Structure 1
Amino acid sequence: MSVDTILDDSDIRLTLDQNVAELTINRDRRRNSLDNPALEAMIGAIEHLSALNVPVCIVASEGTRAFCAGSDLKALVDYNIRDKVRHTSLFQKAMMAVDEAPFATIAAIEGFCLGGGLELALGCDLRIASDEATFGFPEITVGALPTGGGTLRAPRAIGMARAREMLVFAEPVDAPTARDIGLISKTCSPGTARSTAREIAKDYANRVSSRSVALLKGLLHNGYATPERTTAAMAALSDQILLESEESKEKMGSALT
């Protein structure tokens, strides 16, 4: 089957292989760091993909040196204050778009996954990394702060104590340690993160419906930290919507045979 190119920006590429999407940061020349145009392209790609009703998207990068080195510091230094403020706003919007996407997301991580790159990975539902990948939040050492959700999502993923160590002391961790503390989900041989993610994504896409994924992720995001009765009511209503669909009836029927 052919792979369809949905978006081919100079910085961000979005492809679709049947019902599996793949968003690729195409900035290996800058260790796949993100400047304002790249962030705008990423936001546009997620918004476009959200309308296509796909169940899963792989988030990856060109090359194996870095999944994403966070903000493009070279570009950031040259920005005026207005563009710097816009950069923070765009970064937050991009990370929220990934985190709240109505489809499952799988990060395929090779090389350095630092700062905003780790924030991007933490916004994904599943994180697969090369055995040689490195993770960290170096922002405090370069006169910046992690503003793309790291202070929220890292404690949720690994607990407050470990998150404080990584964020406050900027100490990097290797892939085995990242796996042991729950920062990533799986490790694989160097150079195989993307292919491993594709295998998982294809199997997943054949087992679920895009509608069920969208409803479930909506519950996870909108029901988190709300009163128990509110969360239960939202879950019941979402379930009712799903149970009335023909796809749900077909899947339940096939499960009984």
Structure 2
Amino acid sequence: MHKWMLVTAVFLGLLALSGVALAQSGCPPEARVIVDGPLCSGTQVVTGRVAGTACGDAAVTIRHTATCDGIDDLLVGAGRTTANGDFTVPLSETLYSGHLGCSDESAWINVDVECPCGPLEVREDIPGTPKTLIPPHIPLPQAGATIITGLWDPFCAGATLTVTDQDGNVIGTGVVQADGSFVIQLLRPLETDEVVFITVVGTAVSDICRFCTVPKDFTYQLGPVSIPESSTLLLLACGLAGLAGVVKARRILPPKTQQ
């Protein structure tokens, strides 16, 4: 009897230790490595962070692969995370990017971080040929509008856009977001038949690869600003009239009597 109790106690103890080990070696599902981008052949330092789990003072290694250039899993950088999981790793070798004749996914880096909960890894592709300037897509606003919205190249994130009128007065500014979208808040409503001009007054703050290629004196003309279409005004008027009728009808209807 005592023998079986001893065996059971040992078994439960080993099971408990095993459970602790498993708990310590498994990272939560939301744990991930985030690398700041974009990456290119001009990148000299890789920065990023670990999110979703505590990962301070952890070893970080960066390996580079470029299939078209015969580079396979080459160690190009090593460092450690800060107390809050951030990392800045200088590179000892030049990164190769995809080029003509190679696929868009022919070059990348693997970033490995040895967190307390376990190893985390992420792959970041290195874009190939530099992007050419994509003209902004800006829907033509109507008279009375106080904002201008649009979509541009995500590589131009951080660039500042300025709107000026025909007299050269600045009437609004906005910043390109990470997805390329932007919203420019205007200082006054736009007028009918007005023409405005959008220029870039600040380059993309993180465009070390120079993928956001803005020609000198680049200006985007927007306008003439249109007035709302008559059909739109008619639908709006009908909608308001119908709503007013419903409200009036509800006011004069007698209350329902219970059966």
Task: Give me the TM-score of the superposition, normalised by structure 2.
Answer: 0.18
Q: Considering fraction of residues, name the structure with more helix.
A: 1
In terms of fraction of residues, the more strand-rich structure is 2
Q: Which has the higher contact order (CA 8 A, sep 6+)?
A: 1
Q: Which has the larger radius of gyration?
A: 2
TM-score by length of 1: 0.18
